[in-house]
Homo-oligomer: A and B are copies of this chain.
């Protein structure tokens, strides 16, 4: 964000509106049988038409070759340098299940595990104990009390839970307890700097009480903790850019990321249709909207090429609905690529487009549509994902000239 702060005299508050549609895991790679990527395979006439009237390019979320998680991928799109503003695993896990984090809270990712009579690990995931068995255990652990802090335990799924410590003087600078192998006992939590001693002592107290409480359990007779993290201290988007930003997302983690960036999260339903309706109803109240479309990423992670194509085709009919809202700048971007042939997030640059009244001539007649190959030839070229916000601001008249 250092670079962006340099531009602080240029950010201008205006009534114009920006809509940033983030298609999670948007980018892909060609199917070996056809040589066409998910975007090239999908019938997406509305996205293609929008691209022909937009300034297009490819965005690099972190650095070439670097595969981002959801946190860095989104923060970059909001303009935050993802190498500077890091969201730790515990904090992201908490955001992912709608657990509120306040500044100072420490969250850790927890696993139920199985230990033998000597305390040596037998299974680091308690033989993947299902949610219906683990949730009551989380409620039991939630009763643990530690001096001077509030302790809360939230079930995630199967063997996973989140531990949240709330109080004064906590620190994320403590090590986890998972030795990453069986046959040895779990590790004690250790302070990584002097200010973290209190937190380490508290966390070890939690583990000791948990072990007592779970001693009679067959599978889940112990816990492992890792990824202790606090919220990063981000300058809020509203203050940095002079915006009144809002986030709309059906999935908790993305609502959490919007909150971290200082957006107001608008409650919505469970589908993208709900999100678009929420956008329409609240268009008057904000000047920047982040709206999140999740399904492409899940299909890509499943390695299901056809399902990812279908998710893109399902998104396409919403584009005219979003266009007719008349935002001065409409951005369609992705937090990272999730090529189905890799069945995972990847480092590949992500297609994006910026549409405004100025971009009609930028796509060009030879432009095939919205996909990796055509965007590589787009008028913007390859830029860092953190710079997309600057284009959105410029195209909506919110970024004044730099320097006389």
B-binding residues in A (CB < 8 A): 3, 6-7, 10, 29-32, 35, 37, 58, 62-72, 82-83, 86-89, 92-93, 227, 339, 341-342, 344-349, 358, 360-362, 364-365, 372-373, 376-377, 379-383, 387, 389-394, 399-404
Would you give the shortest CB distance from A339 to chain B, in whole angstroms? 8
Q: What separation, in Å, do the CA atoms of A311 and B368 have in the docked complex? A: 34
Determine which of B72, B364, B379, B392 lies in contact with A403 in the assembled complex, contact meaning CB atoms within 8 Å: B72
Contact indicator A404/B71 (Cβ below 8 Å):
yes
Q: Can you sample 20 A-B contacts with CB below 8 Å?
A: A6-B83, A10-B66, A29-B358, A29-B361, A35-B361, A37-B361, A64-B391, A65-B389, A65-B390, A65-B393, A67-B401, A67-B402, A69-B403, A70-B404, A72-B403, A87-B403, A339-B358, A347-B394, A376-B379, A377-B377
Q: Tell me, in angstroms, the Cα distance from A328 to B397 when the chains sit together.
A: 42
- Contact status A64-B347, CB under 8 Å: no
Contacts of A37 in B (CB 8 A): 361
Closest-CB distance, A356 to chain B (whole angstroms): 11
The answer to whether B82 and A403 touch across the interface, beta carbons within 8 angstroms, is: yes
Q: Find chain B residues with CB under 8 A from A387 CB.
A: 63-65
Q: Are A68 and B401 in contact (CB under 8 A)?
A: yes
> Known interface pairs A64-B380, A404-B89. Does A35 touch B83 (Cβ–Cβ under 8 Å)?
no
On whether the beta carbons of B62 and A402 are closer than 8 Å, the reply is yes
Which residues on B sit within 8 Å (CB–CB) of A7?
63, 66
Q: Is there contact, CB below 8 Å, between B381 and A376? A: yes
What 10 pairs across the A-B complex have the smallest Cβ distances?
A65-B390, A30-B361, A72-B403, A65-B391, A69-B403, A89-B404, A64-B387, A92-B404, A381-B382, A65-B394
Across-interface contacts of A88 in B (CB, < 8 A): 404
Min CB distance A268 to B, Å, is 24
One of B35, B58, B399 near A65 (C-beta < 8 A): B399
Shortest Cβ gap from A374 to chain B (Å): 12
Closest B residue to A381 by CB, please name it: B382
Quick one: copies of this chain in the complex? Answer: 2
A257 CB to closest chain B CB, in angstroms?
11
Residues of B within 8 A of A362 (CB): 29-30
CB pair A347–B391 under 8 Å, yes or no, is yes
Min CB gap A230→B, angstroms: 14
Interface of A is mostly: loop
Which residue of chain B lies nearest to A72 when distances are taken between CB atoms in the complex? B403
Measured CB to CB, the closest approach of chain B to A333, in angstroms, equals 13
Name the CB-closest residue of B to A7. B66
Please give me the residue from chain B that is nearest to A361 by CB atom: B30
Q: Which residue of B lies closest to A341 (CB)?
A: B358
Knowing A82-B403, A88-B404 touch, does A383 contact B32 (C-beta < 8 A)? no
Contact partners of A401 in chain B: CB under 8 A: 67-69, 344-345
Q: Which residues of chain B are near A6, meaning CB under 8 Å?
A: 83
Most buried by B among A31, A58, A400, A404: A404
Q: Are B403 and A71 in contact (CB under 8 A)?
A: yes
List chain B residues, Cβ under 8 A from A82.
402-403
Apart from A6-B83, A67-B399, A382-B382, list 13 A-B contacts with CB within 8 A: A7-B66, A30-B362, A35-B364, A37-B361, A65-B390, A66-B394, A71-B403, A71-B404, A82-B402, A341-B358, A372-B379, A373-B379, A376-B377
- Give A385 to B172 CA distance when docked, in angstroms: 36
Contacts of A365 in B (CB 8 A): 35
Minimal Cβ-Cβ distance residue in B for A390: B65
Contact check, A227 vs B30: say whether CB atoms are below 8 A apart.
Answer: no
CB distance from A373 to the nearest CB of B (A): 7
The answer for the CA separation of A194 and B7 in the assembled complex, in Å, is 25
B-side contacts of A399, CB under 8 Å: 65-67, 347
Contacting residues, chain B, for A227 (C-beta < 8 A): 404
Contact yes or no, B361 A32, CB < 8 A:
yes
